[in-house]
Amino acid sequence: MGHAEKHDFAPRVGFAYDVFGNGKTALRGGYGMAYDESAVSIYEQEVFNNPPFLNVNTYTAASLDDPQGNTILPNSAALLTPPSLAGSPVFYQTPYVQQFSLDVQQAITPTLMLDVGYFGDHGTHLQGRIDINEAQPGAFAQTTIGYSQVSGCSGFTSQACEAPLNQIRPYKGYTAINSVETIFNSNYNSLQAKVVKKFSGKSMIDANYTWSRGLTDAQTDYSSAPQNSYNLSQNYGPSAYNRNDILTVDGIWEMPWKRDQQGIVGHIVGGWEMSGIYAVNSGLPLTVTMSGGGTVQYAGLTSMYSPALTNGGVANDAAGLGIIGPSAAGLRPNVVLNPNSGYGQVSLRKRLHWFNQSAFVAPSAASYQAGNEKTGGIDGPGFNRLDVGIFRNFKLYRGTEFQLRGEGFNVLNHTNWATVGTNATTSSTFGQVTATRDPRILQLGGKLNF
């Protein structure tokens, strides 16, 4: 790292205003900046994995009657695999986020309160990974490089087939150079509403709803990279944790009879409480990926765009980016239909067909273009769960109290899908639900308060 910022300034300001001076209507807002502290280990580990700290050359064994072996290219002079490297930014810019909010809180009655507001943030110079040694999309088509130059390769479908690309990479002599850079951005905008109603004793009910949208061009800070480093906008889409709708309702009911637990009857029937949390969330976004060495799988469906899927002419890395192998970048297919809509007799949001698998097509070898899929175009499974608790409080000696707790999680045993297969190339579960979240769980417990 050649330079680090030393002038980061993180102001924060906020206000609260009693609009009518009667303590019932409050207008509140705020703004603040916060800086991220990047993990030093990310850069240290990368540096010490590079030459000269670590350098492992692989030499393929050859026979005396054919020392060359003809295993890379015709007339090649050596049997060496170009190494991959890890990079760090020459000019490091500290990632930071700006947060801002404006909301109104209104006391409708002494026991009923409503809060509605806008909350958002904007991330700048976010940390992410990028392969800085990708070849220009389609550049190989303007050179003498061709698929047929590598024996047995009909397209860029494996790392061995991409060996000819090494002569046109920005940094020759290497394959992927995965660099952690602070060049990414994000934004989040939301409408948030809250209603609280209080009753006698401990009883209350609280409802919260958030309608939001989180977008970014860096889905992770380290583990993955955009497919095409020359077109970062293709990686701009819903963030990995984006949920457009979140509804949560929770409450406590302190049963009104014999709360003081006086007398024998009071000790028998008094001291009961119930609580519950009901949560409904929309799903997380999903992105389809491809990998080398296979063809796009369709789980038995017949696509309207089938000619280029399972036979000749398919090149997973049709643009010749050179990202099959050690690159942190991942291949994407072409999107030809809306993956969130079915066609014909196919119904979606089922275990075997969560999305329209036939909406994705491997790029044609003749296109010389990268797949056009953007990030997060598939609506993932949502979440729906009811948790309930029943408590019995026993008053003991001088303020000491014992609570017997019976708790149930997902008491309705609603099936919540967890993961969906999104690898269109090698996975036989492409488009299928592969796991579920927790089923109904019941537990008993006790707590002594003194």
Most confident of 85-99, 177-191, 345-359: 177-191
What is the arithmetic mean of pLDDT over 48-67? 65
Q: How many residues does the chain have?
A: 450
What is the arithmetic mean of pLDDT over 365-388? 92
pLDDT, residue 2, reads 52
pLDDT > 80? residue 99: yes
pLDDT > 60? residue 361: yes
The C-alpha atoms of residue 321 and residue 225 are separated, in whole angstroms, by 13
pLDDT > 70? residue 74: no
pLDDT-derived band of residue 110, with 50, 70 and 90 as boundaries? very high
pLDDT, residue 95, reads 92
Dig out the tokens for 157 from the structure: 């479908």
What is the arithmetic mean of pLDDT over 52-56? 65
The C-alpha atoms of residue 379 and residue 82 are separated, in whole angstroms, by 40
Of residues 250 and 299, more confidence is placed in 250
Domain boundaries, the chain: 123-449
For the CA atoms of the chain, what is the radius of gyration? 29
What is the arithmetic mean of pLDDT over 201-219? 95
pLDDT > 90? residue 23: yes
pLDDT digits over 141-155, tens only? 887 765 544 555 656
pLDDT > 90? residue 202: no
SS3 of the chain: CCEECCCCCCCEEEEEEECCCCCCEEEEEEEEEEECCCCHHHHHHHHHCCCCCCCCCCCCCCECCECCCCCCCCCCCCCCCCCCEEECCCEECCCEEEEEEEEEEEEEECCEEEEEEEEEEEEEEEEEEEECCCCCCCHHHHCCCCHHHCCCCCCCCCCHHHHHHHHHCCCCCCCCEEEEEEEEEEEEEEEEEEEEEECCCCCEEEEEEEEEEEEECCCCCCCCECCCCCCHHHHCEECCCCCCEEEEEEEEEECCCCCCCCHHHHHHHCCEEEEEEEEEECCCEECCEECCCCCCCCCCCCCCCHHHCCCCCECCCCCCCCCCCCCCECECCEECCCCCCCCCCCCCCCCCCCCCHHHEECCECCCCCCCCCCCCCEECCCEEEEEEEEEEEEECCCCCEEEEEEEEECCCCCCCEEEEECECCCCCCECCEEEECCCCEEEEEEEEEC
pLDDT digits over 298-310, tens only? 433 333 333 333 3
pLDDT > 50? residue 44: yes
pLDDT, residue 400, reads 87
pLDDT-derived band of residue 325, with 50, 70 and 90 as boundaries? confident
Calculated CA dihedral for residues 287, 290, 291, 296, nearest 10 degrees: 150
What is the arithmetic mean of pLDDT over 115-141? 94
Q: Which amino acid is it at 323?
A: I
Residue 180 burial (C-beta neighbours within 10 Å; 0-12, 13-18, 19+):
buried
- Asked which of 27-36, 46-55, 113-122, 300-309 is least confident by mean pLDDT, the reply is 300-309
Averaged confidence pLDDT in the chain = 83
pLDDT-derived band of residue 78, with 50, 70 and 90 as boundaries? very low
pLDDT, residue 65, reads 66
CA angle 157, 162, 168 (to 5 degrees): 145
CB within 8 Å of 320: residues ≥ 6 apart = 135, 137, 138, 139, 140, 141, 145, 156, 162, 165, 368
Dig out the tokens for 14 from the structure: 């906020």
Of residues 173 and 440, more confidence is placed in 440
CA angle 71, 76, 77 (to 5 degrees): 115
**What percentage of residues in the chain have a pLDDT greater than 90?**
49
pLDDT, residue 363, reads 82
pLDDT, residue 238, reads 96
pLDDT digits over 393-430, tens only? 888 877 788 889 999 999 999 999 999 999 887 667 88
pLDDT, residue 27, reads 98
pLDDT-derived band of residue 386, with 50, 70 and 90 as boundaries? very high
